[in-house]
Amino acid sequence: MNTVVMRVRTVWIGFVALNLAWASAVYFSPRREVLVAAVKPAGPAVAVAVAKTNPIPEVTAPKLTNPPPVVVVVTNSAPRPETAATTRTNQWQAAPGGKKFTGQDVPSEAYLQYVANLRAVGCPEERVRHIIVADVNELFDKKRLQDAITNDLPWWRAESYMGTFGVVIPQTGVPNHFEEERRALFTRLLGANWDETMKIPPLSSGGVRLTGPVLGALNAEAYNTAQEVCARSMERHQSYYMAQINGGQPMDTVELARMRNQTRTDLAKIFTPEEMEEFLLRYSHNSQQLRQNLRGFEATPEEFRKIFRAIDLIDHPVQMNYGGPEALSPKQREEHERQRDQAVQEMLPAGRYQAYLQMKDPLYRQAQTMAQQYGMNAKAVTSLYQLNQSQQQRQQAIAANGALTAEQKSQAMQALMHEQQQSMQRILTDVNYRR
């Protein structure tokens, strides 16, 4: 009996243990939440807890050593509202390998394939043409800029004649071959009859080559408009000249100044202040005069710019009202010159300002003229200038000497002139003064 009871108790304990083990396995199983969710839907809080506790493992695609090219597929299905802008932006990226084309790529065969790909994937023809025109214009904007920098003359030097309005400027605008090349590219990319359906303004080849890094960077529209303004300005001046000559009338300097001011006003509607200054530094009447007046001063580009800024503000109103300083009274001219010198003094270091004042001395101008005529260098100018100063001081001393009779003064002047000629001859024949 005891044996039977013991066996029954053992079987019962084993049965209970087995059920407890099964229940424990179910309770602590990683799929418990799944099982519970299958019985009772979990609320938001439960779902978050489940995700944090047992995240679903990510499936990583194997990396391909030679991935196939990306194929752009255009469907007729409308994109979801939140992705419509992205779809429109990326839909036409037909460049193989994700290459981004720019204007520099336009002449290449790869760009031809790029355009063909755009059309092949269904990009609207209007959009294709817009892309081509933008890229071609970008290419020739860079070409124009490089040409403008390469052909920029040293506009701050006296020997650089940039031209002024009222005078036919011996330059040409954009080289004609640029427009020919551009049209050839349009024909290659858009077809033979592209100009029958598209109106693309040509690159102007007007009379003024707008040089330098600032004017060379003008876009085609601003460049062409500036050329039109310059053409009207030259036409106004030439018409006025012919009318005055045919009528036997002198040139009115006030009227000429007002015509130049009209050109400035028209250009100011197109140019930024920086572009306007670059234009005036090269092509204005006042910059041309300043180049000649600074001959021998050897101004740097920055010095020329500073001096021009200072005196143009003073000279331009005088020209508008009087035609120029030559029309002022002696007292007015003296005041005008004082204002100019003061303005320049504020722009230059002390040593350079003294050189500027020396350059304005008529005796220095005489020395410059003589040195230029005989092909002599800057050292000769200095020696001739010092000789002129010495001779002038001695002439003044002879004239002021009351102890000399008129005849004695005349003899002293003749002796001084003879001495001056001998000194000048030594300078002119000195090889050290040759260029």
pLDDT confidence of 258, banded at 50, 70, 90? very high
pLDDT confidence of 22, banded at 50, 70, 90? very low
pLDDT confidence of 103, banded at 50, 70, 90? low
> How much is the average pLDDT of 115-127?
91
178-232 confidence digits (pLDDT tens): 888 888 988 988 888 887 778 887 776 667 888 999 999 998 889 889 989 998 9
Give the helix, strand, coil percentages of the chain, each rounded to 5.
70, 0, 30
pLDDT over 60 (residue 323): yes
Instruction: Write the CA distances from 64 to 15, 57, 61, 110, 128, integer angstroms.
Output: 56, 22, 9, 26, 33
Q: Is the dihedral of CA 403, 405, 409, 412 positive or negative?
A: negative
Tokens of 367: 């020395």
Q: Which of 57-61, 70-74, 154-158 has the lowest mean pLDDT?
A: 70-74
Tokens of 415: 């002796």
pLDDT of residue 14: 52
Q: Which of 188-202, 235-249, 327-341 has the lowest mean pLDDT?
A: 188-202
3-state SS class at 30: coil
Output phi, psi for 130, to 5 deg.
-60, -45
CA-to-CA distance for 362 and 345, rounded, in angstroms?
19
CB-based contacts of 353: which residues, under 8 Å, 6+ apart? 344, 345
> How much is the average pLDDT of 327-355?
95
pLDDT confidence of 173, banded at 50, 70, 90? low
pLDDT confidence of 175, banded at 50, 70, 90? low
The label of the residue with tokens 């969710």 reads 37
pLDDT over 50 (residue 74): no
* Domain extents in the chain: 1-43, 99-150+172-206, 216-360, 368-435
User: Taking Cα atoms as reference points, which of 328, 220, 369, 212 lies closest to residue 281?
Assistant: 212
CB-based contacts of 345: which residues, under 8 Å, 6+ apart? 353
- Angle between helical axes of 253-268 and 273-283 (0-180°, round to 10): 140
This prediction's pTM: 0.67
pLDDT over 70 (residue 82): no
CB-based contacts of 336: which residues, under 8 Å, 6+ apart? 314, 318, 325, 328
pLDDT over 70 (residue 293): yes
Asked if 42 contacts 50 with a C-beta cutoff of 8 angstroms, the reply is yes
Instruction: Write the CA distances from 86 to 75, 80, 83, 125, integer angstroms.
Output: 15, 10, 5, 20
pLDDT over 60 (residue 261): yes
Instruction: Write the CA distances from 33 to 30, 41, 42, 43, integer angstroms.
Output: 7, 10, 9, 12
pLDDT over 50 (residue 166): no
Burial 229-260 (b: 16+ CB within 10 A, else e): bbeebbebbeebeeeeeeeeeeeeeeebbebb
Strands annotated E in 97-236: none
The label of the residue with tokens 């978050």 reads 48
CB atoms within 10 A of CB 120: 12
